[in-house]
Chain A
């Protein structure tokens, strides 16, 4: 049991490391969100291209956008934790 927990903790640490490493490795980068910048690549290939459709609704500010992203993550995480909590609770009587 203990070994399994260790492995899982290690997996989490590795994941966090993978996310932190770029911040050190590419220190001077701007770490921009991708969407807008992909336009540049396309413009390079086909400078004539104009998008023919715009988003119906856009978050009015970066704050609102991050709110919605956090909401998305929180809702997902909420269910994930609920699920594992449910499983853990269900399993307990079997062990006793």
Chain B
């Protein structure tokens, strides 16, 4: 009952939000050369500890249970696929989901710092999408901030007694949005508005980036729930192993 009300309120609020947005927007990773060397270095440094934590976490997961290796690759493949899908949005431009929420919820957020960075590296090198100099910043938004928010939201929802599907859905949606809000923040820090400073700049970037992203974030949420539904049928033991669902209790 409680869940339903919140979902409905959120849905109505965000639908209204969509109806009043400006009709042009651009949203994706920060382009090559568009952050000054100082900012590039800073974001690389900020991402690095999470990347190392991620390597440790992956090693631990794989050593503890080699059977989970495939699921780990699966989480990477999910992010890989979703990042390739440039989907039209209500603002009249295209963006793509990130797909990092799934892995964050399954394995914890640190793991996605590695998997997400690999996806970004591929796109930067082969597609000139994002960039090498801005890889640190893009990794921080998509492979660190997104997964951590996804994981946090998911955990809090579960603690509050939300059903699995709702926790997964909200985690994936908000993780996706968090990625692009972080991108907006990074751009506004690097390009503060002459009059209003970082805040004005952030408002400008965020209204553009986050709104385009919203329907895509919802799509990502739906697809992540779909994957969880399939997993609960075909690989329940993995979900129990990862403590996503308690032993002996069915999920709804």
Contact = CB atoms under 8 A, between A and B. Distances in A.
Interface stretch (B56-64, B105-113, B125-133): B125-133
B91 A34 contact: no
Given A59-B127, A59-B128, A26 B90 contact: yes
Interface string A19-33: 101110110111111
Contact of A69 (B31, B86, B124, B208): B86
A26 B91 CA distance: 7
Given A51-B31, A69-B86, A84-B234, A57 B125 contact: yes
Contact of A32 (B80, B83, B93, B201): B93
Interface size class of chain A, counting residues whose CB lies under 8 Å from the partner chain: 35 or more
B171 interface: no
Contacts of A83: 70-71, 73-74, 77
B23 A29 contact: yes
A68 B88 contact: no
A77 B80 CA distance: 9
B226 interface: yes
Given A58-B128, A65-B127, A80-B74, A87 B93 contact: no
B87 interface: yes
Interface of B: 23-24, 26-34, 36-37, 70-71, 73-74, 77-95, 122-129, 131-133, 187, 191-194, 201, 204-205, 208, 212, 215-216, 218-219, 222-223, 225-226, 229-230, 233-235
